[in-house]
Each structure stands twice: as C-alpha cells, then as structure tokens.
Amino acid sequence: RQLETSSKQLLARARRTTNKLFSLSKRCRKPPRIILPRPRSLHFWLNRALSTLYCSENKQLGVYSERSRSCSCLYDHPSCQGPLPCSVGDGPRCASCSAENRTRCAGCNPGFTLTQGACRPTVPDPTDPYLGMESDRDLQDLELHFLIQRRDPRLA
C-alpha cells in the first residue's frame, strides 16, 4: 500500500514537472533541453521497493540487505526497521510460517524454540546434567547438592 502511494505521488510530481516544462517551452525561443534520469536496473528497483516496504518505520528510510535480512538505518534512534517477513530455512530460520501473520514463524527447526513468533536457540536446563546421578556419593559437596536440589526438585 505504501509503495503504491509513493509511486502515485511520484507520477503526480512527474506530470506537474512535465506540464511546467511544456508551458515554459512555449515562451522560449530555443526548445528546452530535457535530460531524463538514467535508466535503473531491475535490481536497483527491487532493492528500492524492499527498502520502502521493510525499512521505512518512524519516518526514516533505510536500506534493506537481502544477505543479512536486516535494515541499515542512518539514525538508529528510533530504528527504521519494520516487521520482516518470515523466511523458511535451516538453523534459526523458520521451519514453517504462520498463516495468520506472515512475519511470524509457526514452527522451528530442531534445536530452536518458538518465542513470540521467532525462532531462538533452545537453552538446556542447567540442572539436566545432574539428573543421571544416582547416589549422594556422586554429589559429595553438600552445599552444591542443597543448591541444585533447591533449584530443581527432580533431584531429590
């Protein structure tokens, strides 16, 4: 929607400028020399569109990087980055995307946990290594045994 609005504004500005040039050219003895902007590649326009879509929060325009999937903002306070779409892949990327909200993950890859719509590394419970210990001889330090047991009642 924002891209459509900005392209309409750009088209209206181009029309006004063209009309002004033609009205001025009627008064001139010599025809005006009109210089058009150089043609841009498809890659340029794609980057421009992605930057407008994802990096134009807080009335700032940043530059979107496909490689890092993030925005580079001129001034970081406040950030220009908006919500980025979910991307499916290995590691910290999503295993599947949410159907209701395309910026959130629905599932994560092994070793990652879904937290507020994003995949974060799973942090093992710090007492898990002690669960396999069978007797008090394994935990001879009484203070350590008490602290671990207080933290996790499974170690009774």
Q: Which long-range contacts (CB under 8 A, 24 or more apart) does 73-77 make?
A: none
Six-digit token pair at 151? 């933290």
Q: Is the pLDDT of residue 138 over 60?
A: no
Is residue 100 a part of any domain in this protein? yes
Q: Are residues 14 and 89 in the same domain?
A: no
What was the pLDDT predicted at 13? 92
Q: DSSP letter at 88?
A: B
Is residue 112 a part of any domain in this protein? yes
Residues of the domain holding 103: 85-126
What was the pLDDT predicted at 144? 63
Distance, CA of 105 to CA of 39 (rounded, Å): 38
What's the predicted TM-score (pTM) here?
A: 0.48
- Rg over alpha carbons for the chain, rounded to the nearest Å, is 29
H/E element, 119: strand 118-121
